[in-house]
Structure 1
Amino acid sequence: MAEWRCVWGHKNKDLKFMKDYQPYNEEVKQLRVLLHGPAGAGKSSFINSVDSALQGRVTDRALADNTIAGKTRKHRTYQFNKGGPGTFYPFVFTDLMGLEKGTKKGVCVEDIKQAMKGHIKDGYEINPCSQISEDNQNYNKDPTLNDQVHVLVCVIAATTENILDDESVIKMREVRLAARDLEIPQVAILTKIDEACPEVKADIKNVYKSKYLKTLVDDLSAKLGFTPTCIFPVKNYRSEIKTNDEVDTLILRALNKIINSGEESTACRPTNC
């Protein structure tokens, strides 16, 4: 099968883009990216993988300090070191507890909506049984443009996308519609592609030759409303001790799309919304 998308050869170009990037809107000090999706999809692993691709070495910060039994506990934001002491890339990733089936499991959809608006402070302990209240000490009553989310990223595992239950799909579509109403652009990340497809496990460069993954991307597009060009298959770093150029290429290509999507939302966004 011919490749249905071409990404190879972009790693150095994407790395240079990240190193040179500065938000167009001077009011935006750091582009804010919010990750959401089903529990266990690999949100924290994706943050670590982005960090690894940028640093040129495998890191595990997000998994080490904010998860118990593979589940994220708190609303937590991560910066990415740019090389020198105290220097960071002008974008941050915020991690949330995953969505789960059931009314008292996983993050509340209303908490995701509040996070998008910038109303939740870092360190908030997510309560699956109830949404954050305005009198909570971690409720931000007056969010600035820097507190608000500029890009929403939905993370879904390729191993489970085809068995997403109807309740999870309803919750995820509700989040997407809320982001649309806030004019927040959206990107989807399809993780665990090596576990889902034997061809990709044998050679990561087969990702865009895989009929199975192409079908998953098309199904995900139909089910949740993402355009196929906004869905990016990636392999997260898990047990590796060194980075890999092909793995980095997929991660950095997705990151490039995330950053450029954020620019579309912040370049002409009003201060108060």
Structure 2
Amino acid sequence: MARRLDGKCLGNPDWREHPPFTEKTRDELLTYVTSWKPTERVQKAFGQKPLRLLVLGPSGHGKSSFVSSIKSCVGRELGQGAVVGAGMAQVSRQYNEHTLIHNNEDLPFVLCDSRGLHEEGEGAGIDGIMKILTGTIQQGEIMPTQKDTVIEQVMQYHATDLPLGIIFVVNATKSDNLGGIFSFREYLEKVLEALNDMDIPRCVVMTHVDCVIESDLKTAFSNQRLEHAVRSAGNLFHVPKHLSSL
């Protein structure tokens, strides 16, 4: 159960089990990520192709900043690998694959940044997302929007074609409001419907968590406001709560 409003606890105050996050935990997680290798079954199916992690999310919710943060963390150096902006400049227009490098070696997965999800016609169109999933879009290519018409026929996706994973990025302070915007919810449902028939693992990553907690980040898993934000994001993107990460 979550923490009561009066500050008293009823049983376990945490709404989600989690390990204590220390420098040791951080180093162990970083080692796990940078030493990960695909299984023999995956290598047999896909050869030496890197795992492509497609980063999707509403425009302006920190999608490109998330990509830059991961690159900086894994590469152990600060840098801006993805361009971010303000207002409509927040809308990434190009498709870009970001190779992750650790100790001067390419890791076996890449982060794929794309045009954001947006309900006013400027967001990524279904055709554009399908081009990413089928591997028929090129690095730096401008992604079509919802209102664009794609002339060429998009290949049908087959689960064995490309190794894929999808990371939805959403601002923790806005996840609840998004569910109340009918035009966005209707648009997102069309995107999710296109993904439902594909056997692609997916998760949700939440940004701006500190703005929700407004206190020590160590209290994240006992904060009711954050639990509500996680549930809202999970419902919005059809992802169970245990796959909604902070």
TM class by shorter chain equals: 0.7 to 0.9
From 61, 72, 81, the equivalent of 1:52 is 72
- Which residue, out of 84, 96, 109, partners 1:91? 109
1:94/1:174 Cα in 2 relative to 1: closer, same or farther (>3 Å)?
same
1:72 is displaced (CA, Å) by 1.0
Q: Distance in 1 between matches of 2:62 and 2:149?
A: 23
- Which residue is equivalent to 1:15? 30
Aligned-pair Cα RMSD in Å = 2.7
- 1:205 aligned partner: 218
Displacement of 1:146 in angstroms is 9.6
Measured after TM superposition, the shift of residue 148 of structure 1 is 3.4
Opposite residue 152 of structure 2, the aligned amino acid is E
Per-residue CA deviations over 1:82-129 (Å, capped at 9, x if unaligned) read: 122xx2111001111111122x32211221123122222221112323
* Aligned counterpart in structure 1 of residue 237 of structure 2, from 200, 224, 230: 224
Inter-CA distance 64–45: structure 2 relative to 1 (3 Å threshold): closer
Deviation of 1:133 after TM superposition, in Å, equals 3.2
Equivalent in the alignment of 1:240: none
Residue 230 of structure 1: how far off its partner (Å): 0.6
After superposition, the Cα gap between the structure-2 partners of 1:131 and 1:213, relative to the gap in structure 1 and judged at 3 Å, is farther
Distance in 2, matches of 1:208 and 1:132, equals: 44
Match of 1:115 in 2: 132
- Correspondence 1:182 to 2:198: yes
The offset of 1:6, in angstroms, is: 1.1
Instruction: Provide the rounded CA distance (Å) in 2 between the counterparts of 1:116 and 1:63.
Output: 23
Q: Aligned partners of 1:115, 1:49: CA distance in 2, in Å?
A: 22
Asked if 1 retains the 8 angstrom alpha-carbon contact of 2:119 and 2:187, the reply is: no
Structure 2 residue runs of 5 or longer lacking an equivalent are 4-12
1:61 aligned partner:
81
The alpha carbon displacement at 1:3 in A equals: 2.6
Q: Match of 1:63, SS?
A: coil
* Contact kept? 2:56, 2:167, Cα under 8 Å: yes
CA contact (8 A) 2:95 2:114 kept: yes
Pick closer, same or farther for the CA change 1:124–1:47 going to 2, 3 Å: same
Query: Post-superposition shift, 1:29?
Result: 2.5
Equivalent residue, structure 2, for 1:3: 14
User: Does 2:141 correspond to 1:124?
Assistant: yes
- CA 1:46–1:17 in structure 2 vs 1: closer, same or farther (change >3 Å)? same
TM-score calculated relative to the size of structure 2: 0.80
Instruction: Describe the shift of the 1:181–1:146 C-alpha distance in structure 2 as closer, same or farther (beyond 3 A).
Output: closer
Q: Which amino acid aligns with 1:92?
A: V
Distance 1:3 1:52, change over 3 A: farther
Cα separation, partners in 2 of 1:197 and 1:17, compared to 1, 3 Å? same
Gaps of 5+ in 1: 234-273
1:191 aligns with 2:237: no
> How many angstroms apart in 2 are the aligned matches of 1:95 and 1:50?
12
Q: Assess if the C-alpha contact under 8 Å between 1:38 and 1:98 holds in 2.
A: yes
Structure showing greater Rg: 2
Structure 1 residues 213 and 168 mapped into 2: Cα distance closer, same or farther (>3 Å)? same
Segment drifting more, 114-123 vs 157-166 = 114-123
Give the match's secondary structure for 2:136: coil
Out of 171, 174, 194, the position equivalent to 1:157 is: 171
Relative distance call for 1:16 and 1:146 in structure 2 (3 A) is farther
The ranges of structure 1 where at least 4 consecutive aligned residues each deviate by more than 4 angstroms after the TM superposition are 141-147
Q: 1:132-176: per-residue Cα shift (whole Å, max 9, x none)?
A: 4328xxx8x699989735101111111211111122222223322
Shift of residue 57, structure 1, vs aligned partner:
3.0
- 1:36 correspondence with 2:51: no
How many pairs does the alignment contain?
Answer: 222
TM-score (ref. length: structure 1)? 0.72
Structure 1: how far apart are the matches of 2:194 and 2:165? 12
